[in-house]
């Protein structure tokens, strides 16, 4: 199948780029002496996750229990549900465990730990639990020095839970864009997680695993002493935000949206395409970065960037393509109606989720169509 | 079923509010003497569209051919595909017409008109076509005074097409927030569409229909002389953007996202919930408006706004709830773990699309679950 056979908009994966991204991260983790647990929330795709595991990854992280159920049904059994579990979701988690899934849940409060313990008392099943650590103040987790960390650990142990260890995610790495700042945050992420682990162990509590990670810190860490595994998601596709962060190039972005030119406003230098925010998502992650790509960077159908052309605006099913500089008065001649273009996304996780399937491109053209999971 | 039985995040429709919104728009159109053609891209839901038609709407507008196919299969036959058609989509449109769907396509260039004509020559089927007019410069369409308008009309007629009329959408109305500005834009939208129709008629071309509309202009027009139908979409649910535009109140917003509190950062006054941008979308439409609601306005589970509480941040499956003013140091007591909240969206079209189903609430609780279409 050729690109011209696809109904637009369509999500494309460049297999060669993706495989290069997978190899790069796997080699880096091997060099640092840690296991890699890919976060499959980026792709939500069995074929993509399988390639990550084939390259050497061990286990997966998921962002929803539905992902856990779907990936478990597809043969993945070592699954970390990397969002603090709501007490109302414990029955669903329990059902997964009883089906044979090695599911780990995370907690960052005594209240949630007690809800898990209460469920265990009723069910007789001891959950594998990790304690979430707040290493950079951006979202969830217990501070490594907070007395409640030990209280949670003791509650889990006395409640009969299997304490698997600690995990943290330095998500503020997405806001950085210099190697020095990224390196420092990676070291902070490592240091806070290791410190939390050491405090638990000093209190006589088990803490076999120390799990850290975000794509930018994973690719910026100089050493990961005391860490046992790294989690990273967006590296598999990369995107324009990651390019601005400085950990990949635009030529590494493996996900794009195929679109068709449907109109022009020649005096404004606009071409109108059939990919709006429904296809690209509303993610404007590059808005405050070094280079603002609007809703995406425009490439020709072969995937070569067209210099200076971006998606300057997006309505639900309309995208507005324009040069970031002076308007191209001849845009209707350069991109006539019916022309196919490819748009690189700001944020691969957000753009991917707008589609129920990916079309995988290799040297032979559109080689396969892969399903993408959604929902909760 | 009760709210507490729903897995979160979940999309809720408040039936009473929705029915009030539907009645309001229908009565307004009746008073202005025009037909109402709801744009179903907002809900993508048969049960919602059926209620709009039951209240008096005639026909629907869609934003994708997949919507057209799905709504036609559900019994809707008068369908305007309100996005300029890509030549590569004409076969799919033709198949719909041949199945008995009264599908209208739109064109705004000679190139697209010629592509439609070429398809007609090959197929023998004459498409119903409207010419899109650019009434406010925000996106697509031909200017009402542009000579190409007549050229397109003549090409369509000589190509054997049925010219249904002209249509325009003053989408820049979303950027306004005063009654005077809205009133002026509604009059401009009407005036440009009517002027285009008059020019076509003066050239001896048929133009039976003059279709205009956006929710803000539809609710702001003082008169619609010369207009035959109005299209509007988001009014069925309304949202925080529309509240800031000034055409509804927060208490009219019929769509919300049910979420569960999963954690806290007490010193920051944060509650963490299980609705991030995957549930709310990345739409930050209120960012530059009078009141910035972050990623949404927080209500209790019964739907009553909690004063000053908004979703200040959103990651993929985490939302950060905080007061817009001073942090609430007692937020963990006010919103303990497991608490359900409802979040009103910035943009109903964007938030709705993150879900595959709606749960309809009436006085009896969660009364029905309705499917939502997606994809292309």
Beta carbons of A85 and B320 less than 8 Å apart:
no
Q: What are phi and psi of A227, to 5 degrees?
A: -95, 140
Tell me the nearest-neighbour CA distance from B252 into chain A, angstroms: 23
The confidence band for B1, taking pLDDT boundaries of 50, 70 and 90, is confident
The answer to whether residues A104 and A82 touch, using CB atoms and an 8 Å cutoff, is: no
What are the distances in angstroms from CA B71 to CA A173, A182, A231, B78?
44, 50, 43, 10
Strands A270-273 and A78-81: unpaired
Which among B134, B140, B282 is the nearest to A282, CB-wise? B282
> What percent of chain A stands above pLDDT 70?
100
- The average pLDDT across B190-218 equals 98
The Cα A25–Cα A38 span in angstroms is 10
The confidence band for B258, taking pLDDT boundaries of 50, 70 and 90, is very high
A41, closest residue in chain B (CA to CA): B316
The answer to whether residues B76 and B69 touch, using CB atoms and an 8 Å cutoff, is: no
Beta carbons of B112 and A262 less than 8 Å apart:
yes
Which chain B residues have a beta carbon less than 8 Å from that of A83?
A: 262, 274, 317-318
A132, closest residue in chain B (CA to CA): B263
Reported as a single tens digit per residue, the pLDDT across A191-211 is 999 999 999 999 999 999 999
Gap between the terminal Cα atoms of chain A: 32
Reported as a single tens digit per residue, the pLDDT across A218-247 is 999 999 999 999 999 999 999 999 999 999
- The average pLDDT across B293-311 equals 97
Q: Can you tell me whether residue A343 is helix, strand or coil?
A: strand
Answer yes or no: is pLDDT of A325 > 90.
Answer: no
Tell me the nearest-neighbour CA distance from B159 into chain A, angstroms: 19
pTM of the model: 0.98
Beta carbons of B374 and A356 less than 8 Å apart:
yes
The arrangement of strands across the sheet holding B35-38 comes to B35-38, B229-232, B209-212, B162-168, B128-133, B102-107, B78-81, B60-62
User: Which of B337, B341, B358 to mutate: most A Cβ within 10 Å?
Assistant: B337
Beta carbons of A281 and B278 less than 8 Å apart:
no
Beta carbons of A356 and B338 less than 8 Å apart:
no
- The average pLDDT across B190-195 equals 98
Which among B85, B316, B354 is the nearest to A63, CB-wise? B316
Which chain A residues have a beta carbon less than 8 Å from that of B274?
A: 83, 86
Q: What are phi and psi of A84, to 5 degrees?
A: -50, 130
Tell me the nearest-neighbour CA distance from B39 into chain A, angstroms: 12
In chain A, what are the helix, strand and coil shares in percent, each to the nearest 5? 35, 25, 35
The Cα A340–Cα B115 span in angstroms is 16
Which among A260, A313, A356 is the nearest to B88, CB-wise? A260
A62, closest residue in chain B (CA to CA): B317
Beta carbons of A9 and B376 less than 8 Å apart:
yes
Beta carbons of A318 and B375 less than 8 Å apart:
no
Answer yes or no: is pLDDT of B21 > 90.
Answer: yes
User: Quick one: CA torsion of B151, B157, B161, B163, rounded to 10 degrees?
Assistant: 80
Tell me which of B123 and B183 has the higher pLDDT. Answer: B183
Please state whether B294 falls in left (phi above 0), alpha (psi between -120 and 50) or beta: left
In the predicted model, what is the mean pLDDT of chain A? 97
Give strand ranges (E) for A205-318. 209-212, 229-232, 255-265, 270-273, 297-300, 305-314
The Cα A163–Cα A161 span in angstroms is 6
The confidence band for B163, taking pLDDT boundaries of 50, 70 and 90, is very high
- The average pLDDT across B137-156 equals 98
Beta carbons of A83 and B260 less than 8 Å apart:
no
In the predicted model, what is the mean pLDDT of chain B? 97
> What percent of chain A stands above pLDDT 90?
97
Answer yes or no: is pLDDT of B50 > 90.
Answer: yes
Answer yes or no: is pLDDT of A1 > 90.
Answer: no
Beta carbons of A171 and B89 less than 8 Å apart:
no
- The average pLDDT across B296-309 equals 96
Tell me the nearest-neighbour CA distance from B85 into chain A, angstroms: 7
Count A/B contacts: CB-CB distance under 8 Å.
145
Which among A111, A320, A347 is the nearest to B139, CB-wise? A320
Reported as a single tens digit per residue, the pLDDT across A63-79 is 999 999 999 999 999 99
Answer yes or no: is pLDDT of B325 > 90.
Answer: no
Contacts of B259 (CB under 8 A, 6+ apart): B8, B9, B273, B274, B275, B279, B319, B340, B341, B342, B343
Which chain B residues have a beta carbon less than 8 Å from that of A64?
A: 317
DSSP states of B240-283 as a string?
Answer: HHHHHHTSS-GGG--EEEEEEEEEEEGGGTEEEES--HHHH-S-
ipTM over 0.90: yes
């Amino acid at each position: 199948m050729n690109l011209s056979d696809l109904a637009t908009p369509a999500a494309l994966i460049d297999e060669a780029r993706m495989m290069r991204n997978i190899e790069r991260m796997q080699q880096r983790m091997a060099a640092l002496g840690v296991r890699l647990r890919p976060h499959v929330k980026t792709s939500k795709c069995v074929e993509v996750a399988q390639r990550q595991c084939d390259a050497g990854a061990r286990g997966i992280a998921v962002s929803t229990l539905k992902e856990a159920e779907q990936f478990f049904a597809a043969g993945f059994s070592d699954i970390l549900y990397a969002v603090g579990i709501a007490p109302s979701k414990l029955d669903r988690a329990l059902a997964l465990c009883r089906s044979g899934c090695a599911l780990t849940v995370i907690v960052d409060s005594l209240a949630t730990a007690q809800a898990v313990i209460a469920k265990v008392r009723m069910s007789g099943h001891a959950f594998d639990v990790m304690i979430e650590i707040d290493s950079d103040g951006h979202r969830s987790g217990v501070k490594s020095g907070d007395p409640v960390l030990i209280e949670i650990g003791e509650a889990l142990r006395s409640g009969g839970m299997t304490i698997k260890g600690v995990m943290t995610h330095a998500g503020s790495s997405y806001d950085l864009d210099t190697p020095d700042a990224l390196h420092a945050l990676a070291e902070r992420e490592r240091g806070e997680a290791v410190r939390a682990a050491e405090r638990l162990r000093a209190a006589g509590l088990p803490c076999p695993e120390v799990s850290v990670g975000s794509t930018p810190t994973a690719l910026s860490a100089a050493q990961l002493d005391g860490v046992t595994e790294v989690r990273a998601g967006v590296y598999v596709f990369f995107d324009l935000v990651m390019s601005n962060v400085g950990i990949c190039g635009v030529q590494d972005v493996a996900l794009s949206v195929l679109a068709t030119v449907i109109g022009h406003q020649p005096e404004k230098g606009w071409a109108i395409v059939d990919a709006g925010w429904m296809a690209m998502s509303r993610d404007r992650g590059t808005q405050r970065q070094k280079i603002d790509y609007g809703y995406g960077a425009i490439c020709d159908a072969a995937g070569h960037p067209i210099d200076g052309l971006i998606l300057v605006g997006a309505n639900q099913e309309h995208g507005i393509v324009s040069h970031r500089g002076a308007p191209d008065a001849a845009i209707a001649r350069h991109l006539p109606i019916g022309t196919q273009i490819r748009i690189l996304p700001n944020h691969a996780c957000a753009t991917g989720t707008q589609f129920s399937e990916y079309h995988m491109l290799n040297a032979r053209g559109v080689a396969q169509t892969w399903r993408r999971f959604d929902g909760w």
